[in-house]
Structure 1
Amino acid sequence: MSPDVKRRLLDHACRIAGPGFVLQVGQGIHAVSSDPTLDVLRRATDPAALLDRWSRLEKYHHSHHRVQLVQLGKGCARLRHRSLRGAPPHPLESLAVLGLLVALLQAIGCVGVDVDLAGGGPDIPAIREGRAQLPALPGEADEWVIRWAALRAENRIQPLPVAADLIERLYQLFDDDPVRHWPIAMAACKVGMSTRGLQRRLNILGVSYSGILRDARVRRAARAMLDAPASLAEIGYAAGFADQAHFTREFRRILGASPAEWRRQVASTSPG
């Protein structure tokens, strides 16, 4: 959808139902059972991880508008919605993004979410207990203070089941959450080894840690192309690649074809 079309839709929604409705549109994600991009975002274990994944999504799609983390504290975050070039985001665009982020915070287990619009004078209450409280469109809506009362522990990812083979355990680990940053020290901790011990073991097996991580992401992407009709952009992001060029380069290196070529080849050989 083009930016012009998106803005016209937002303008129309605001005229018909008010700016509070624009803030609530993001709540629609709770009705989506499965989607590659949403699944990645909803796998975040806490608000900091969610904001990191959101930032990587914006960079992956080369978005002109970006959410900047100004400050992150216990139970609160201050964010700014900015433009990389040209005019700043329209207030309705900022409200739509803010509403989606609030819905995602709720999806990962944040309860009691409150939001104030800040930066343009006195703070303006926008959301209380997850519900919009915005009767009129503000002149500025590009700086937000978000607070949450608690993060439900049951939403956090459970420990990875132990598998017998070390390499398969690493594949399982990366496949479980491919978008996470995976420094070797973190993976070593997850499989119950020291960093040096994991490096030594992989050297003995004749494989590299970075190679397993790349291969796991390509495996994930290839499987997604077989299982769902999602776009290649969604699949590449959900598999943990930095951008489309990175996705294409690593996919071709391992499978000998670009993602688009590989998808066409698979489709041409499928029965029916």
Structure 2
Amino acid sequence: MANIPLTRGQFLLPFLGILDEAGAATSSLLERCRLPASLEEKSDLYVPLLPALRFVETAERTQGIDDFSFLAGQRLHFSHLRDKTRALIAHSPTLLVALRHACRWAPREDTILSMWIEHHDDHVRICNRLTGARGLRHLEHAQWLQNIFAILIIRQFTGADWMPETIAFEARYTPGPATRSSWPNTRFLSGQRAAWVDLPIAYLSLPNRSQGARPMPCGPEDDLLGYDIVETLKLMLPAYLDARIPALAEVAEMAGVSARSFQRRLAQSGLTYSDILGTVRYEHASRLLRDTDAKIIDVAFASGYTDPAHFSRAFRRMSGVTPRQFREQARPE
């Protein structure tokens, strides 16, 4: 069976807003490209990607809008991501964990979207590519949005003013003067093997600035109870870190459900019991490293680890740095 690449209707909403404000015949443009005319009412549903790109390019050309996708990118918000993706990022203890979640769930935003992290000496690249789309015309429209979403995720940890030093496109694309003036300290590259933005490697261990501001999931694929139990576990488990941590079956018994039902509820949130326990351990350890002079081996034991080497490996998986490097970054003096 032939594959039909899909994208979420949410991603077209910024383009529609610009066209409506310009007085364009938006509905007829959508119909001409074989897209639903009432797309605003169906924005959480999926539409075919290739007609969506054709719609953006046709609208840019017929309406005389320079750098249409850049202007649309300025209107994108973190809330345009799927509820589940936003919730996972809100539960992420570090930027590195959040980016891994974004990479894992990227195909739920665009069905042929691949996203990954490349490590270099002092920085990382947050890369994305539409599988099988190499050579496709006007690919910059999709790549602008994909790069902007990576930036929006990073800003949940760095703050709203962060800008990447480099934004790269797989497409052959040259940004216009308005785009360059809006990103004066950013270098633009085109014709790369993937689209990407760069990020200092030290930023990967940044803590979540949105903890406690949990997005409320909705829709058939999400279960509010799944997210409630995540919050409950994050409140409960710290009390057990320096003692015997309860096994999943014991926690399920506390919740009054079977272990299988408990696992299924967690799976609906996109997390496992091990994921949540790892987050609780990491958050406890990072506080001790940042706010106390406790020896690293004592931090490991206090965080529920019996093997300091295991602690160091687990901490690095969460933050991209060792416990000692994290302490040096948090307390440069």
- For each residue in 1:148-199, what CA deviation from the matched residue of structure 2 results, as whole angstroms up to 9, or x when unmatched? 6979867142599xxxxxxxxx9744257xxxxxxxxx96983422485302
Q: In 1, are the aligned partners of 2:85 and 2:105 still within 8 Å (CA)?
A: no
Q: Partner residue of 1:174?
A: 230
Q: Which has the higher contact order (CA 8 A, sep 6+)?
A: 1
Matched, 1:6 2:52: yes
Deviation at 1:85, TM superposition (A): 3.5
Other structure's SS at 1:79 match: strand
- For each residue in 1:48-103, what CA deviation from the matched residue of structure 2 results, as whole angstroms up to 9, or x when unmatched? 223222222224467212122212787x4313323434636623322221122212
Q: Residue 88 and residue 189 in structure 1: after superposition, are their counterparts in 2 closer, same or farther (change >3 A)? A: farther
Q: Partner residue of 2:237?
A: 190
Deviation at 1:131, TM superposition (A): 3.8
**Alignment match of 2:198 (pick from 126, 146, 152):** 146
Q: In 1, are the aligned partners of 2:166 and 2:189 still within 8 Å (CA)?
A: no
Q: Percent identity?
A: 14
Q: For structure 2, list consecutive stretches of 5 or more residues without a partner in the other structure.
A: 1-46, 215-225, 273-333
Deviation at 1:27, TM superposition (A): 3.8
Question: In 2, Cα distance between the equivalents of 1:86 and 1:79?
Answer: 19
Question: In 2, Cα distance between the equivalents of 1:106 and 1:48?
Answer: 13
Other structure's SS at 2:147 match: helix
Q: In 2, are the aligned partners of 1:102 and 1:130 still within 8 Å (CA)?
A: no
Q: Partner residue of 1:78?
A: 125
State TM-score, norm by structure 1: 0.50
Give the superposed CA RMSD.
Answer: 5.1
Question: In 2, Cα distance between the equivalents of 1:192 and 1:159?
Answer: 23
Deviation at 1:13, TM superposition (A): 5.8
Question: May I ask how many residue pairs the two structures share in their alignment?
Answer: 200
Q: In 2, are the aligned partners of 1:26 and 1:99 still within 8 Å (CA)?
A: yes
Q: In 2, are the aligned partners of 1:69 and 1:80 still within 8 Å (CA)?
A: yes
State TM-score, norm by structure 2: 0.43
**Pairing 1:44-55 to 2, within 5 Å after superposition:** 44-55=92-103
Other structure's SS at 1:144 match: strand
Q: Residue 104 and residue 128 in structure 1: after superposition, are their counterparts in 2 closer, same or farther (change >3 A)? A: farther
Question: In 2, Cα distance between the equivalents of 1:203 and 1:36?
Answer: 26
Q: Partner residue of 2:276?
A: none
Q: For structure 1, list consecutive stretches of 5 or more residues without a partner in the other structure.
A: 161-169, 177-185, 219-238, 243-272
Q: Residue 108 and residue 139 in structure 1: after superposition, are their counterparts in 2 closer, same or farther (change >3 A)? A: same
Other structure's SS at 1:104 match: helix
Question: In 1, Cα distance between the equivalents of 2:181 and 2:236?
Answer: 37
